[in-house]
Amino acid sequence: MRGTGKIILSTGNSDAEILIDGVAVPVRVRRSVRAKAYRLSLDQAGGGLRLSLPVRANLKRALGWAQEHEGWVRSQLAKQPERTVLGDGVVFPLEGRQLQICWIEGASRTIRIDGDRLLLGGAAESVGPRVLRWLKLRAKAVLETESHAMALDNDLIVASVGVGDPRSRWGSCASDGSIRYSWRLILCPPEVRRATVAHELAHLLHMDHSPAFHAAHKRILGSDPRPARAWLRAHGAALHRFVG
Ligand SMILES: [Zn+2]
């Protein structure tokens, strides 16, 4: 499928677009001293592509090369989950319930939950980024409290708790006792989130997934963690569609 594409260089910045089947796909261009060749990858955050190229490479030629890979781009984009911007009217899951974002003109910027609505005022165009920031802060607070409380109950010590947005895992535990979670755990039912916390705490005892680890996981959680794991397998990927 050659010849259906067209390269567009945006003015004013280093980013560009390629046209795939008539649809403009944004390309974030990154020049790197370490890059020895062109490299095309999906831009998970932006929903488009990332093109890295050597510092002195010709951008137009690199974009032409990217365009030649439109078959690959098409198949990769098709695999991407749908995206939902956390804007006014959007319904999203939070800690086991469904909330609808409700932007009210002239209302306070402070975000608050009122029944099954998430209310906020402030600038309409910044609703998405502000809701996202609020969710990450809430995730960090809840996961921090829960991790330390569960650790205390089990004579364990957590060095620090942080949140990020990894694509393929829900938590990680370092040998120094610091734990990082996906902020998206706040979108899960509480029992799923707690099972993930117990999983990372069990890694403070066993840095593997041995039978001893699984026994510790179950003991720390106080129940069978398998339903939570099954829930994440079934519904976890869909939680990645929410963007700010
Ligand atoms: Zn693990």
Grade residue 25 by pLDDT with cuts at 50, 70 and 90: confident
CA nearest neighbour of 135 among 179, 95, 84: 95
Mean pLDDT, residues 184-193 = 98
| Ligand 1 centre distance from Cα of residue 208 (Å) | 7
- pLDDT digit string, tens, across residues 60-113: 999 999 999 989 988 888 777 678 999 999 999 999 999 999 999 999 999 999
| Ligand 1 centre distance from Cα of residue 199 (Å) | 6
Grade residue 11 by pLDDT with cuts at 50, 70 and 90: very low
| Ligand 1 centre distance from Cα of residue 200 (Å) | 6
- pLDDT digit string, tens, across residues 126-170: 999 999 999 999 999 999 999 999 999 999 999 999 999 998 899
Mean pLDDT of the chain: 91
| Ligand 1 centre distance from Cα of residue 217 (Å) | 10
Distance CA 20, CA 94 (A): 35
| Ligand 1 centre distance from Cα of residue 196 (Å) | 9
